[in-house]
Structure 1
Amino acid sequence: MSILNPTVAEINLNYLAFNLAQIKKLLSPSQKLLSVVKANAYGHGYAEVAKKALQEGASFLGVVSLKEASILRNAGIKGKILVLGSLFEEEVSQVIELEVTPVVFSVPLIKKLNLEAKKKNKLLPFHIEIETGMGRLGISPDELETFFSEIKKSENLKLEGVMTHFAQSEAEDPSYTMYQMDIFRKAVELIKKDFNEIAVHASNSAALLGFPEARFDLARIGIAMYGYHPHKRLKNKISLKPVMTLKTKVLHLKTLSAGKSISYGRKFFTTRESKIATIFSGYGDGLNRKLTNLGEVLIKGMRAPIVGTVCMDQFMADVTHIPDVKVGDEVILIGNQGNEFIGADEIAEKLDTIPYEVLCGVSGRVDRVYIT
């Protein structure tokens, strides 16, 4: 017997397809799409999102680790997978077994990969990342000569692509992205003297929308695929539909007189006779505890403020102004109800964070239900 958690994330794969179609309109016929499905596809579910992305024309899937790659392979996904977070030396044999493409930026790893590929009589494709100013991963342009002298000796490796990652491509000031792009272009020019047939890629969702010249051969798209713009100033660049609706139910109703406290820490007191709904969701499901006395939800198409501290499994909302609320009524945490909409971006703004974190925060105990 299948029992669903009262808190459910509805994932509309038709909206995912719509977003991918909108994104592809911005690419030329020769430019390819990499769908980023790391972090459980930004909370939407690895396998179903990956399958749909490939069906809708993605050439690559992007993950951060071999563990994520193995989840996709175990789900029967045969498409190309790029491991964006690179790998550790002890994982080298698994790369070949999983038939995935690692991103590499160290000489010791190049040596290990080549040795393992030689043992197994394989030609292993890989990409390299150039560090242009993100300060996270990648090889410095100053080290390229040493790095490529090792690559040229590696007969069982095939350089398939070169990438970088922008630090600030959503910003209004384009100067730092242009600075990174200049460094990257010079590095690519140098690499192409010996390796001409490589895929060049730098664009994330923000760069896709704000820097057409950075699209190169392949665009790596994450947040836009899931229906959110990387920055509100980019909303006019593309029409998107949020893919996830996070919903739950009213568990209990009570009427409290003025001056009564609600939840842990007694951080909220009623100022009048109030009808309070206890709702079956909490920070154990991904509803951030910082939404205490700050967030809102939708009930019967109306906004209801969260009152009192968000608990692990429940929270309370004031529904005094909403007529006829009943136990079992649908509650929208993220998504549409009637004429109202609460997006992950609205929640993120209240929390001084980004919609990526809100979506990725939807926990594993929340069932994903797919609409096709």
Structure 2
Amino acid sequence: MTIDLDAIAANWRTLSQQLAGDAECAATVKANAYGTGLAETADRLHQEGCRTFFVALPEEALHLRETLPDVTIYVLDGLFPGTAEIYAAANIRPVLNSVPEIEEWSAYCRAAKTALPAAIHIDTGMNRLGLLPDIFTQVMADDYLTGPFTPCLLVSHLACGSTPDHPLNRIQLDTFRAATADFPEIPKSLANSAGVFLGPDYHFDVARPGISLYGGKALDPGTNPMSPVVRVEARILMVREVVERQTIGYGAAETATRTKRLAIVAAGYADGFMRRAGSSDQRPGGFGWLDGHRLPIVGRISMDMLALDVTDVPETAARHGVFVELLGPNVAASDLAIYAETIDYEYLTGLGRRFHRHYGPLGNRQDDT
């Protein structure tokens, strides 16, 4: 698994340049920076100029704080019960998602006699975390609740940002504007990766892209402007011939329609290559890449292996021990996701622990040892 940190930094620059006015481009580095390595990725983004980071869990925030002692860190999943002292000691900002979280953070700040910062999440239509707009208005009017701490960011999250024409995008934007109109002095954040591309109306003060940093496709229509940042390769264990009418793999899911050469590759669903992306007689599956050739997956993906059709690849190229690309510049995670009936987020964050991780340009592969 090769991870190009410079490509991640370049994607961050591209996103920053999309933002209107003085909007800040933060970075969402939850889930081990979408599988690319939290410490390594955040450090490279910091070198590039990123100063604000979003994670999901307090454990991620603490790990990030060890790497970057001076940056701003928000925990999207909020204030976990009994952890206010830990957040405060590490200078971590919770995104307060409910009245009980606000009560606990307020009580801690009141007892500590310190107005610590925190974000407040407004639910504008996602129906997941966050305060409904009328509850948010009541909370902000209650000095006992919000007086002891400093609301430093007002946050909401787009439910359908990847579909630019979806009417809920405009509804959420209007709801967010209306809810926050009385608080012009507090910075605001609505745009995830998709929101960056929806235009200036969605940018506000802080954008918090995630998937686009890692080369993923933020918008469903159109082409992906982001650079790939990950290449995953696995070895060919053997090349074998199957003749017409023979079946391949578990469940005899696919039957050869002609004599084929198959490369059996050392990667499977234990490594994050989803079983749903296998093929059968009824449907095609995903693909790999070798020497300029697109290699269809043949049959079911098993735990540790998958089969690729190398019939049209020269035998000198498709041979024992050679690496094939399973994800990368030629095999986009968003393309694989179509076959697996999922999204590229799941592919990137689900890549397994058995890969040898190497940081460097995608054009340079480590040797075959």
Q: TM-score, normalised by structure 1?
A: 0.89
- Taking a change above 3 Å as real, the CA distance of residues 170 and 105 of structure 1, as seen in their structure-2 partners, is same
For the residues of structure 2 that align with 1:109 and 1:290, how far apart are their CA atoms?
39
- Taking a change above 3 Å as real, the CA distance of residues 276 and 229 of structure 1, as seen in their structure-2 partners, is closer
- Tell me by how many angstroms 1:315 deviates: 0.9
1:280 and 2:239 aligned? no
1:363 and 2:352 aligned? yes
* Pairing 1:20-35 to 2, within 5 Å after superposition: 20-28=12-20, 30-35=22-27
- Tell me by how many angstroms 1:37 deviates: 0.6
Instruction: Report the counterpart of residue 198 of structure 1 in structure 2.
Output: 186
- Tell me by how many angstroms 1:187 deviates: 1.1
Higher mean C-alpha deviation, range 120-129 or range 180-189: 120-129
- Tell me by how many angstroms 1:95 deviates: 1.2
* Pairing 1:137-148 to 2, within 5 Å after superposition: 137-148=129-140
Instruction: Report the counterpart of residue 216 of structure 2 in structure 1.
Output: 228
Residue 61 of structure 1: SS of its match in structure 2?
A: strand
Residue 342 of structure 1: SS of its match in structure 2?
A: coil
* Pairing 1:1-372 to 2, within 5 Å after superposition: 9-28=1-20, 30-120=22-112, 122-152=114-144, 154=146, 156-190=148-182, 192=183, 196-235=184-223, 239-293=225-279, 294-323=285-314, 324=316, 325-336=318-329, 341-371=330-360
- Tell me by how many angstroms 1:145 deviates: 3.8
More strand by share: 1
For the residues of structure 2 that align with 1:139 and 1:217, how far apart are their CA atoms?
20
For the residues of structure 2 that align with 1:119 and 1:232, how far apart are their CA atoms?
48
1:110 and 1:151 in contact (8 A); partners too: no
Residue 81 of structure 1: SS of its match in structure 2?
A: strand
The residue identity in structure 1 corresponding to 2:324 is V
For the residues of structure 2 that align with 1:145 and 1:75, how far apart are their CA atoms?
37
- Taking a change above 3 Å as real, the CA distance of residues 77 and 247 of structure 1, as seen in their structure-2 partners, is farther
- Tell me by how many angstroms 1:227 deviates: 1.7
The number of residues matched between the two structures is 354
- Tell me by how many angstroms 1:88 deviates: 2.2
1:106 and 1:147 in contact (8 A); partners too: no
Residue 221 of structure 1: SS of its match in structure 2?
A: coil
Q: TM-score, normalised by structure 2?
A: 0.89
1:45 and 1:368 in contact (8 A); partners too: no
**1:134-181 CA distance string (max 9 Å, x none):** 111111111134312445555541110101111112224253211111
For the residues of structure 1 that align with 2:164 and 2:31, how far apart are their CA atoms?
28
1:151 and 1:157 in contact (8 A); partners too: no
The residue identity in structure 1 corresponding to 2:255 is F
- Taking a change above 3 Å as real, the CA distance of residues 27 and 173 of structure 1, as seen in their structure-2 partners, is closer
Segments of 5+ residues of structure 1 without an aligned counterpart are: 1-8
Residue 203 of structure 1: SS of its match in structure 2?
A: coil
For the residues of structure 2 that align with 1:172 and 1:160, how far apart are their CA atoms?
29
